[in-house]
Each structure stands twice: as structure tokens, then as C-alpha cells.
Structure 1
């Protein structure tokens, strides 16, 4: 039976440092955690495989055992490995407990990123025939340093001292009490003890992002195209929002549109209309010839397919 390549499981080469291995495990374990992928057996198996790979590769004696072929089974619970890597902090929670919370939804879960709108002008020809465009959007993307967690690799969560972990601060004004979102922890109830030095603990950074779009043929002015996952990055590694592109179509000097049809007004002389003639007319793809029967009246409609 072939031995499993644990470096390949984590997407690392054999020269990877212990810190690089841990960083790769953190990113993939969050992605495939069963609480983030309920009912997905493939993700569950991948999560177990990641735990096994990390447990082996983080062992300093692995290389020696691999060479002698003495490494055997006996792996720990993958959930225990996950908790060990992400640490524990106050109230039994590690840095990712707000994501999973034993399957219970609460204020500390990851949040979906905001949807964005982008207005784009295209030509009449592009709208009629379709095209591909590349746009640049300034938006909040996941921080590359912390993979959206907001904390350093060894950071932990602690209960917010201002709201006591509730995520809200209650202020009394006479007989009334007003609950407001805690400004210190932004409603999460937790504070990261070692914020990421790159994003200052937000888990996100704003930067220009290039996005390729495919404009289908025949789109109308005002049409909205959705680019899934290209909105703002989620909070605490939550899913990204979507980007909605609103199309504005420039007018054309010769053509105008009615439904799915293109109309073009072509002048003819009195003699051509009276006696008949063959004339050249413009189209979006070049020129075409049509026959004008004798006695044609002004406003007569001719169809080109």
C-alpha cells in the first residue's frame, strides 16, 4: 500500500518550515471544517486528512520515522488537533470558536461580506454582440497575512472587558435602557490578544482588484450582472459578498433597439422608390444589399435576418 504524501495534502513542498506548515493547516482546516460544510462527507474526510497530515508533519521526529518506515497509525481526534492549533481563550474558546460554536448560531459567527455595485458603460455594438471586459474594483479583500482571522498565528481570543462578552453595551437613561453595539469589539464579544500587524485585526485590507467579466450578447441597458464572490471579503473568514455590475449602453448614430430587433432608417431617392432599386445598407457587422421594389412607400419596413 502506497504511503500518503502529507506534504502534498497540505499543498507544501518538503522544504517548508514548521511555521509554513502550521499556516497552511490553519487555512485549509477552516475551509473544510464540518461545521462550515454541514452534510458534506468529502469536506469531513478532507478535514480528517488535514489533521492527520499536520499531526505527522509537526512532529520533529517525522523525517526520521519516514526514512525508516516506522510511522504507524494512532492519530488523535482531528477536532482536538484543530482546537490545539487555534488555542483556547477564556470561556473555552479558541480564535475560530466564533465560527463553529458546536453548530450553534450566535453573535460571534463569521459574517458574509457586503455586496458591491459597479456601473459600467459599454458600446451599442458590445451590448448587441457580447464581449469580455476587465475592470478594476477597490474593495476589501481577505488579509493575506492572517487569512482573514484578524490575528497572528499564535493569537487567542479573550472576552471583551467593555461588554463582558455580550457584544452590546446597555446605557440607562432615566426609566429607559438603550442597548448599543459595543464599539470595542464591534459586537463580537471577543478581542484578539495579538492583532495581525498587516490589517490591525480587521482580517481585511482594501486594495484594487482586477475582475474579468463576460457580457452576453443582447443585454439591455440597465441589466445587472452578478459576479459571485467578488464583493467584499467576509468578516472573520466568512464568505465573500457578490459584485453586481450595472450596464449602461451608449447610443448609436445609425441604430436603435426595439426589443431584440435593431432598426436603422435609410434614405432613398424619389426615383429609387418609384422605379425600384438595389441599395446598400449598414449593419453591425458590415454592409448588406437589399432590393427596393417599385412603388415603395416612405416608412416601409424591410427585414434582414
Structure 2
């Protein structure tokens, strides 16, 4: 009997969910939201991004959020860093894990971080060296952005996705996941790419970061699960999107994703009633902002029992 969940959910709402919104959520409201997410059982939260405040004022308080989140028991505090300077600031704040975005699409990479994919690989090597020198216990993951297609470039070559994943692992990433930045993926493509990624990287194949732009978010998560993926990014109420991927909209809804897996008999370690309650501080902190999710509208089915037993996988 193991207490380890069958499915690992990384909540990315406080970063990915907020970065594209016009309004800025006040810091006290963010802290209350993060506390509610933790109380629901989420044990990895991407609390912010260490980018210049002039570019993303919505995330200017990331260091304060990291310091607060470090006080929450059992929580892995994650932050996005686009470069070496961001990694230095994140490590100084005390993050437990760094995530670095590496676009497969050259057009998106230049729009998002003003560097080519090759230049971002060099940045990754610098961040990995910094991590080894200053904080060897801190995790370093890479998310391959636009792995399933790009609104700027169009089709993305699947062979290039796998080549870049292998190069990112060689450059020092502990894990390399695939991100559907613009919501262009379909289940067959998800199965294909994650099968190839896992064959190449084994245990270093990372999370599925999938969007629901065209309504295929949960179907794509299930496709990834079918080929062995057990780690998923999601955002409470489906908030999210990339400011530099026109037409890209929200992430997979955390509540709906947790419900799907729990209904399948798989443990996520997340309390669904408390997770639904975590929408209240989000709504209070973002008045008027649309919140998404089918479970929040329909409610839990009568007689539904969450999974408490050891893993079924």
C-alpha cells in the first residue's frame, strides 16, 4: 500500500492562468488562492514567473509568492524562468523547482523570449550550470512549447520536437515535457509524440501541459495517460494562455481533470470539494473574470466517492 498518488497534478494557474489577463490580481488575493489550492491537496504549484515587471506586471510579485508558498507543508514551489537572470532571481527567492520554456517553433521563440531555440538551449546550459553550483537540490524542468503546432508558424515537425527534447535533456534538464501552447493538439498526435518522448528519455520524459482551446484538453490528457504519462499541468477554472501565441486560450481545467482521473479509480491526492471551494478566492481576486469548468457547473455526481486507497496503476 502506497500513499503516493497515481496521478501527479501541477497547478499552474497562479502563473499561466494570470499572465494573459488584463487585470492584475492583488498579492493578498493570490496568497489566499495559493493557500486554498494547497488546502485542497495540490502539492506542486507554479506560483509565478521571474520576468521583468515591465513585460508581465501581473507577475511582478513572484518573489513574495515564493517566500509565502515555501511555508506551506509538503508543497513543491515552482516558478518559470526564461533566462539565466530569471533563474538567479528565482533561486534567491527560494524556489524548489525551475521550469524553463523552450519553443520548438522559431517564430514563437522569438516572439516569446526574443531568442531562437538554439539560443535557448545555450541559456538552458547556463541555468543548469548555475543550479549545479548554487542549488543542486533544486529541480530543473523544460517544457517544449508549441510542441503540437504554432499559431505563428503553423505545423511543427515532430522529428524536431524529439530532437530538441533530447538536446534539452543533454543540456541539463531533469525532465522534458511537451506543451500544447496554442491548443492545436489532437489525441492521436499526443499519443504519437509522448510515446516517442518516453522511448527517448525514459524517466526524464516530463509532464503533459495541454490547453483546451478547441475543446480537446481532457481527451488529450487521456491520450497521454494511455501511453504512460502520469504528470499533468492544469489551471484552476481553466484560466491561461500565452500572450505571444495569438488565439491561444485556457489550460485544462484542474477540477475537471482531477474529477476525470478520480472517476476512473485513480488517486490524485486532491480533495475535489476543497478544490471547487478554491474558486471562491480566485473569483474574489479577479472580479468579473470568466471562470470555466464543467464540474463547477454540474457538481459532483450523487454518491461519488473519491479514491482513498493505494494506487491502481
Q: Give the TM-score category using the shorter length.
A: under 0.3
Normalising by structure 2, what TM-score? 0.26
Normalising by structure 1, what TM-score? 0.26
Q: Which has the larger radius of gyration?
A: 1
Which is helix-richer, 1 or 2? 2
Larger RCO, structure (CA 8 Å, separation 6 or more): 2
Which is strand-richer, 1 or 2? 1
